[in-house]
Structure formats: C-alpha cells, structure tokens
C-alpha cells in the first residue's frame, strides 16, 4: 500500500519510510517556528526535534497530530493491480 500526504501547495507520494521526511519538509516550509508547531500539534518539542534531525521512531499518534496541525492528509490507497505474490 502507498502512503500519500497532500497539502494545497505541496504534494507527496511516498512510502512509509518517507512519511516523516515529508512531514519534516512541511514543518520547514511552514512560516511557524518548530516550537509553535509542536505546541499547536500537542506534541513534545523533543519529538519534533528528533523528527527534524532525521531520527526514526515517531509514533503514529505523533505523525498524525503533526500532519493534522500542518493541514496534511495521510491516506492509504491501493497501488493498483499487481501480480506480486500471486
């Protein structure tokens, strides 16, 4: 399954491993400080700092909160027809 995060001015099509990179890019593109984003999203500043430094281990709750605050939508869509595993 593929992950898609979308925003009005930014569009991403990505795998799960790239999801945090897309959210980090949206944080950096925002006109808000990381502190304001963390506070507004209800996540610890340390979690956002780890995300921005490229560390792994974000919980799905943290990713969802940040995406929601940044106006991103995370969806899971089928890839389409495939013959893999058949």
Q: Strand, helix or coil at 33?
A: coil
Query: Which range marks the domain in which residue 69 is found?
Result: 2-77
Report if residue 23 sits inside a domain. yes
Residue 27 resides in a domain = yes
Which H helix or E strand runs over 12?
A: strand 11-14
Compute φ and ψ for 75, nearest 5 degrees.
-130, 155
pLDDT of the chain, 86 residues: tens digit per residue? 334 444 444 444 455 567 888 899 999 999 999 999 999 999 999 999 988 988 877 888 999 999 999 999 988 778 777 666 55
Whether 35 is covered by a domain: the verdict is yes
- State how many domains the chain has: 1
Residue 70 · residue 5 · CB < 8 Å: no
| Contact indicator for 51, 20 with CB cutoff of 8 Å | yes
- Residue that is written with structure tokens 């925003």 in the block: 7
Structural domain includes residue 82:
no
């Amino acid at each position: 399954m593929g992950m898609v995060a979308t925003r009005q001015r930014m569009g991403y099509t990505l795998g799960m491993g790239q999801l945090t990179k897309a959210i980090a890019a949206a944080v950096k593109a925002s006109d808000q400080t990381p502190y304001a984003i963390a506070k507004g999203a209800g996540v610890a500043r340390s979690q956002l700092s780890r995300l921005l430094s490229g560390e792994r281990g974000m919980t799905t709750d943290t990713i969802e909160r940040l995406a929601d605050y940044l106006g991103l939508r995370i969806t899971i869509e089928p890839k389409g027809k495939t013959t893999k595993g058949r």
